[in-house]
Amino acid sequence: MLPSTAGNNKQQVNLHVSMALVPYVENSLPGLSKLHNSSAQFRFANHDIRLAQDWKKLGVAAVVWDAAVVMCMYLELGAVELKGKRAIELGAGTGLVGIVAALLGAQVTITDREPALDFLSANVEANLPTDSQRSVLVSELTWGEGLERYPAGGFDLVLGADIVYLEDTFVPLLHTMEHLCSDTTVVLLACKIRYERDTNFLSMLKERFTVEEVSYDKQRDIHVYKALKVPQRRDL
Domains, the chain, ordered by start: 6-229 (3.40.50.150)
Q: Which residue has the higher pLDDT, 4 or 174?
A: 174
Is pLDDT above 70 for 4?
no
- Specify the DSSP class assigned to residue 103: H
Is pLDDT above 90 for 166?
no
- pLDDT bin (cut points 50, 70, 90) of residue 1 is very low
| CB contact at 8 A, 45 and 53 | no
pLDDT tens, residue by residue, 26-54:
334 444 556 667 889 999 999 999 999 87
**What's the rounded Cα separation, in Å, for the pair 180 and 175?**
9
Burial of 159 (0-12, 13-18, 19+ CB in 10 A): buried
- pLDDT bin (cut points 50, 70, 90) of residue 234 is low
The lowest-confidence range among 5-9, 85-89, 154-158, 167-171 is 5-9
Query: What pLDDT shows up at residue 62?
Result: 73
Query: What pLDDT shows up at residue 125?
Result: 95
Please name which of 227, 223, 77 lies closest in space to residue 161, comparing C-alpha atoms: 223
How do 209-217 and 155-161 pair as beta strands? Answer: unpaired
Is pLDDT above 80 for 223?
yes
pLDDT tens, residue by residue, 115-162:
989 999 999 999 999 888 889 999 999 999 999 999 999 999 999 999
Q: Is 162 left (phi over 0), alpha (psi -120 to 50) or beta?
A: left
How do 181-191 and 155-161 pair as beta strands? Answer: parallel
**What's the rounded Cα separation, in Å, for the pair 27 and 23?**
12
| CB contact at 8 A, 69 and 220 | yes
**What's the rounded Cα separation, in Å, for the pair 178 and 200?**
18
Q: Give the ranges where the chain is alpha helix by DSSP (H).
A: 6-17, 55-58, 66-76, 96-103, 117-127, 130-133, 170-180, 196-206
pLDDT tens, residue by residue, 167-221:
899 999 999 999 999 999 999 999 998 888 889 999 999 999 999 999 999 999 9
